[in-house]
Amino acid sequence: MNVKSAAAGTLETLRKALALQQAGEIEKAQRLYKAVLKKNPTSADALNLLGVTYRQLGFPKRAVEFIRKAIALAPDRGPYHANLARALSDLPETTPQEILEAAERALGFAPQLPEARNLKAISLTKLGREAEAEELLLKLIADQPSYADAYRNYGILLRDREDHQKALEFFDTAVQLDPSNAETWVQRARARFELEQYDQDLRELLVAEKLFPQNGDIQHELARLYFRIGDSHLGLPHAEAAVAAEPTNAGRLVTLGVIYQTLRRSKDALDALAKARANWFEDIPTAEWNMSLAYLGLGNLELGWKMHSARFRTGLSSTLARKFERPEWDGSDLSGKTILLWNDQGVGDAFRSGTMIPEIIAQAGHVIVELSQKLLPPFQRSFPEATVRLATFESVTLKATQHDYDCQICISDLAHYLRKDFPSFRKARHPVFRFNQDRAREFHDRIPDARAKPVVGVSWRSRNLSPARAKSYLSVPEFAPIVETPGIIFVDLQYIAIAREIDFLVKGRGANLVHFEDVDQFNNLEDAAALANCCDLVLTVNTSVSDIAGSHGLPCWTFGQEVPQFMLGQEVTPWYDDFNYTVLEPGQPVVTLVPELVSRLEHWRDHDWSPEARLTRLGLGG
C-alpha cells in the first residue's frame, strides 16, 4: 500500500470514529482510534481524540496522558490545548490556575475557540475574578448565541451570586439549546430548588431521569427535592441510587443519611453519615448535625448531645449562631459565678430547654437569660431569681454587646451536661413554668359551661407552611370532625388564626369552639399560657403550643413527624409529664389520624375527664 492510500485509509477511519463518538458510541470510537495508533503511533489527531474518549468515559487521568502526547507532536493546535484544559478540570487535584493556563494556550493558537473561552471563564470564576469571567461569558454568548455551555456557566456564576431567578433564565436557554447535556438539567434543578419552585422542579427532574437514567446527580437532586417537600419515603430510592453511582461522594451520603433519619432508620443514618465523614475533604457540619439527631433518635444521649452544637455551623436559617468573648460553659462548678443562657431557636425550643433553668439557678452564683422580646414575660414570671433580659448583639456579626458574665451557653446545649441519661429528666419539677392565674381566671369566666363540661384547647397548624412541615398540619375542613365532638368545649389556641378559618368551624360546621379575638397568642405568650391553663387537655399539631402545654404541666396530645431531640428514641418523651406524641409513619397523611383522635376524645370525655385539676390549678376549688 502506498503512502497516499495509507493516509487516506487513516483519515477515513478517523472520520468513522469521530462520527461514532459524536453519536455517543464512545467505546466503538475508542477501538478505531486505537487501531489507527497501532498502525501510526504518531497520529496526533488519533491521540487527541482517544484522550477525549477517555474523559467521556470517566478516566480523566488517561485523557490527560494521551492529549499531552498529541500536544507534544503538534503543539500549535488550539483544540488540543482546549481538550487538555477540559480533562484537567475533571481532576480534583488540578488548580484553577492550571486550567486557565491551558485554556489561554489554546486561545493563543485559536482566539475564537468557544470551548477554550468557556473554560477560561470557568477558571477565572474559581480564581475569584468574577468580573473578567462575566465579561468573557457575555461576549461568548454574543458571538456564539447557540453555544449552550456559555449559558450554563453564566447561570452558575449568577447562581453563586444568589441571583437564582436570572440564573434560571440562562439554564432554561441552555437546556433548550442542548437538551442532551445532563449537567444543565442538574443546574436548572438547583436553581428552581433555591427559588422554591418545587412543582416545576419535580416535573423537569422526572423528565431528566428518563433522559439520563444512570445519572447520579439527577438522582441526587430528586432525593433532595423529595426531602424538601416532605416526601422522604419517595426520595429514598433516588438517594440510594445516587450513592450507588458514586459510593464515596460525601454530599450524596449526607443526603442519604438525612433521609434515613427522617424515616426513623437511625442506625442506617449513622452508617451513611459516618461514611460521609470518612470521605469528605472538608468540614461538612450537616453530616455531624444529622449524626447528632441519629444518635438522639437511638436514645444515645451522650453522643447525641455532644455533637448537637454542630447545628451552629450548618447555616440553618432556624438557628441563631451568636458570637461571644466569654467562654462556653463546660459543665464545671458554677459556685459564685455568673452564667449567661441564650436561645438559638424558636419559642417551643425555648420553653422545652427552659425546663432545665432551675437546675442552673441552683448551681450558679447568678443566672442571666437573654431572649427575644416576646419570650421575656413568661421567663421573668417563671424565674424571678434570674436576670431575664432582651438579647442584644451586633446585627451583622452576631457578636454579644454585653459581657457581664463569666461564661455562657445556649439553653438547648444545657442538655449535654444536665440530661446525660433518662433518669436526669426527672430532676425537672413540673410544671416548671408559671402562668398568670388572674388572667387565666378572666379567660375561664368567658368560657360558657366551663365548670360543667370538658375544656380542650386545640391548634391545627403552624404559621410556617413550608411544604415539608405542612404535611404534618391539618386544614380546617380536615380538623373539623375533632371540634365537632359533642359534649366538649373547645378553646382556640391557634396563634394567628385566620377569621375565615374560625367562621368555617363555628358558623359553617357548628363547632363548639371558643375564640378569643382580643388575645394575640403569637406575640403575647403570657396570655397564650394563661389560656392553655384554662383547659383540661391540649390537642394540637406539633408546634410551640404543645411545648407551652408541656412546660406548664398540662396534659397534651400532639402528633407529627419524628423529632429525635424530642422523643429521644422513646415511646413517650421524657421532656414532659402527661404528654402523648403520635408519630406519623413515612408517607402517612396526617388526616388519617383524625378518626382515631375523635375516638380517643370520646373515650376521654366519658371515662377519664375530671375538672378537678383545672379548677385547682386556677384556684377555683373543686
Q: Could you tell me if 343 and 375 are in contact, meaning their C-beta atoms sit under 8 angstroms apart?
A: yes
Partners of 491 in the beta sheet? 457, 514
Question: What is the distance between the alpha carbons of residues 564 and 296, in angstroms, rounded to a whole number?
Answer: 6
Specify the pLDDT at position 9: 61
Ordered DSSP codes for 434-451: ---HHHHHHHHHTSTTTT
Name, in order, each residue with C-beta under 8 angstroms of 569's C-beta and a sequence gap of 6 or more: 266, 296, 297, 298, 299, 300
3-207 CATH choice from 1.25.40.10, 1.10.150.530, 1.10.260.40, 3.10.330.20: 1.25.40.10
Provide the phi-psi class of 397: left if phi over 0, else alpha when psi is between -120 and 50, else beta: alpha
Q: Examine the pLDDT at 496 and tell me if it is beyond 90.
A: no
Specify the pLDDT at position 314: 83
Specify the pLDDT at position 6: 47
Question: What is the distance between the alpha carbons of residues 564 and 368, in angstroms, rounded to a whole number?
Answer: 28
Question: What is the distance between the alpha carbons of residues 95 and 454, in angstroms, rounded to a whole number?
Answer: 71
Q: Examine the pLDDT at 3 and tell me if it is beyond 60.
A: no
Specify the pLDDT at position 470: 83
pLDDT band of residue 12 (cuts 50, 70, 90) is: confident
Name, in order, each residue with C-beta under 8 angstroms of 419's C-beta and a sequence gap of 6 or more: 301, 305, 356, 425
Ordered DSSP codes for 107-159: HHH-TT-HHHHHHHHHHHHHTT-HHHHHHHHHHHHHH-TT-HHHHHHHHHHHH
- The residue-averaged pLDDT of 282-297 equals 86
Q: Using one digit for the tens of pLDDT, what is the confidence trace for 435-489? A: 999 999 999 999 999 999 999 999 999 887 778 788 889 999 999 999 999 999 9
Q: β-strands 556-560, 579-583: how paired?
A: parallel
Q: State what percent of residues in the chain have pLDDT above 90.
A: 81
Q: β-strands 338-342, 366-371: how paired?
A: parallel
Q: Rounded to two decimals, what is the model's pTM?
A: 0.85
Q: How many residues does the chain have?
A: 622
pLDDT band of residue 143 (cuts 50, 70, 90) is: very high
Question: What is the distance between the alpha carbons of residues 182 and 230, in angstroms, rounded to a whole number?
Answer: 26
Fold classification of 437-617 (topology level): Rossmann fold (3.40.50)
Question: What is the distance between the alpha carbons of residues 74 and 95, in angstroms, rounded to a whole number?
Answer: 25
Across the chain, mean pLDDT equals 93
Place of cell 446527580: 217
- The residue-averaged pLDDT of 107-136 equals 92
Q: Could you tell me if 580 and 497 are in contact, meaning their C-beta atoms sit under 8 angstroms apart?
A: no
pLDDT band of residue 1 (cuts 50, 70, 90) is: very low
Specify the pLDDT at position 473: 93
Q: Note the helical H segments in 280-399.
A: 285-297, 301-306, 347-354, 357-363, 376-382
Specify the pLDDT at position 594: 97
Q: Examine the pLDDT at 126 and tell me if it is beyond 60.
A: yes
Question: What is the distance between the alpha carbons of residues 119 and 102, in angstroms, rounded to a whole number?
Answer: 9
Question: What is the distance between the alpha carbons of residues 439 and 378, in angstroms, rounded to a whole number?
Answer: 13
Strand order in the sheet with 407-410: 387-390, 366-371, 338-342, 407-410
Question: What is the distance between the alpha carbons of residues 168 and 170, in angstroms, rounded to a whole number?
Answer: 5
pLDDT band of residue 10 (cuts 50, 70, 90) is: confident
| Dihedral of alpha carbons 307, 312, 316, 322, sign | positive
Question: What is the distance between the alpha carbons of residues 200 and 194, in angstroms, rounded to a whole number?
Answer: 12
Could you say which architecture CATH assigns to the domain 214-316? Alpha Horseshoe (1.25)
Question: What is the distance between the alpha carbons of residues 515 and 493, in angstroms, rounded to a whole number?
Answer: 8
Place of cell 371540634: 483
CB neighbours (10 Å) of residue 84?
27
Question: What is the distance between the alpha carbons of residues 42 and 32, in angstroms, rounded to a whole number?
Answer: 15
Q: What is the signed CA dihedral for 565, 567, 573, 574, rounded to 10 degrees?
A: -40
Type of residue found at 160: D
Q: Using one digit for the tens of pLDDT, what is the confidence trace for 208-231? A: 999 999 999 999 999 999 999 999
Encode 466-510 in three state secondary structure.
Answer: CHHHHCCCCCHHHHHHHHCCCCCEEEECCCCCCHHHHHHHHHHCC
